[in-house]
Amino acid sequence: MSRIDGVPKQKANPLVRVIYRLVSHELRKMTGQRGRLTGDIPVRAHRPRLLVGYGLFEKAVASKPRVDEHLRALAVLKSAVMQGCEMCQDIGSQQARAAGIRDEQMLDLYRYRESEQFDQTERLVLDLAVGMTMTPVQVSDELFAALQAHFDDGQLVELVNLVAVENLRSRFNATFAIGSTGFSEGMACARMEPATLAQAPQLAEVG
């Protein structure tokens, strides 16, 4: 359920119906489950031009990544659970498993700095996700320099853009109270952890 009803297929214009079919097909490929047209897409369909633009944007975000898939998945999931987005927690946990993230890592995501489940690079990426999801942003020069030691400029742009996009997704979904779609039902999920100042990344704890 969400705070407003999505546009049903039978009332959607022809272009939106095409988008619905494409999204269902992509969900089936991505999750291995039957595509379920729930979540934010039917809500976004109230403004078809915005939906089309958003779809093209998401396609560009996913196209030809240069950052390892498991690092991308960690960054997205961490940002999602900090913002209380049930839909993103659900599908993000499913995507994390598909990207090779172990259940132990998902269960320890809230304590990644102390957990032995994460290496230095993973902690740096998670620090970036935390810092960017804070309000105001808490990405220090020291953290950015540490990231530059592991990633080139193009990869940094990719990572920063990815976390920014997840902020867009999660804030949209949380505002409309768009809930879980059941992709991770009965499986391990990263727990919700609302952003607080105490979570601001401290470089001294990385490594």
Q: Which domains does the chain have, with CATH numbers?
A: 9-62 (no CATH), 69-205 (1.20.1290.10)
**Residue 31 confidence (pLDDT):** 57
Distance, CA of 14 to CA of 155 (rounded, Å)? 37
Mean pLDDT of 94-103: 88
pLDDT(185) > 60: no
Peptide bond into 194 cis (omega under 30): no
Q: What is the pLDDT of residue 205?
A: 46
Question: Whole-model pTM?
Answer: 0.85
Look up residue 42 and give its amino acid. P
Greater model confidence, 96 or 141? 141
- What pLDDT score was predicted for residue 26? 73
Q: Kindly tell me if the per-residue pLDDT of 56 is higher than 50.
A: yes
Averaged pLDDT score across all residues of the chain: 86
Q: What percent of the chain has pLDDT over 90?
A: 60
Does pLDDT of 204 surpass 50? no
Per-residue confidence at 198, pLDDT binned at 50, 70, 90?
A: low
In this structure, of 1-10, 79-88, 141-150, 180-189, the range with the lowest mean pLDDT score is 180-189
C-alpha distances out from residue 9 to 1, 17, 39, 63, Å: 17, 6, 14, 28
The pLDDT of residue 75 is 95
